[in-house]
Amino acid sequence: AQKITQTQPGMFVQEKEAVTLDCTYDTSDPSYGLFWYKQPSSGEMIFLIYQGSYDQQNATEGRYSLNFQKARKSANLVISASQLGDSAMYFCAMSEITGANNLFFGTGTRLTVIP
């Protein structure tokens, strides 16, 4: 079974608007971590944000926030005030307490910001 599911292969958003990228996960571990990475066309994966399964508050980093709904096993990334430079692939990933620091990645969502 897929540990991370990203159901949106592609998304479009108007510049300055907010956009939500979906991510659901599957684990039986009581402790786990959720990550989002951005991959521009240059290829390098850039770490954006982290959420721990026991964190009480949703994680935020500048214009990025993580909408964590534990009961629904979802960890959606919200980008506010989209910029042209946000156009990229976005990957959701998960680490498990039993996983020896491995990350399980989803298939990614390609975000295009329209001027």
Partner 1 sequence: DVKVTQSSRYLVKRTGEKVFLECVQDMDHENMFWYRQDPGLGLRLIYFSYDVKMKEKGDIPEGYSVSREKKERFSLILESASTNQTSMYLCASSFGTSGMKDTQYFGPGTRLTVL
Q: Which residue has the tokens 């980093």?
A: 61
Minimum Å gap between C-beta 69 and partner 1 is 19
Among 25, 36, 37, 68, binds partner 1 (CB under 8 A): 37
Q: By CB under 8 A, tell whether 105 contacts partner 1.
A: yes
- Helix/strand/coil for 54: coil
Which is closer to partner 1, CB of 16 or CB of 70? Answer: 70
Least distance CB 17 / partner 1 (angstroms): 26
Strand, helix or coil at 24? Answer: strand
What does the alpha-carbon distance between residue 105 and residue 36 come to, in Å, rounded to a whole number?
Answer: 9
List % helix, strand, coil for the chain (3-state, nearest 5).
Answer: 5, 50, 45
In the complex, which residues of this chain contact partner 1 (CB under 8 A)? 4, 31-33, 35, 37, 42-47, 50, 52, 91, 93, 95-97, 99-103, 105-108
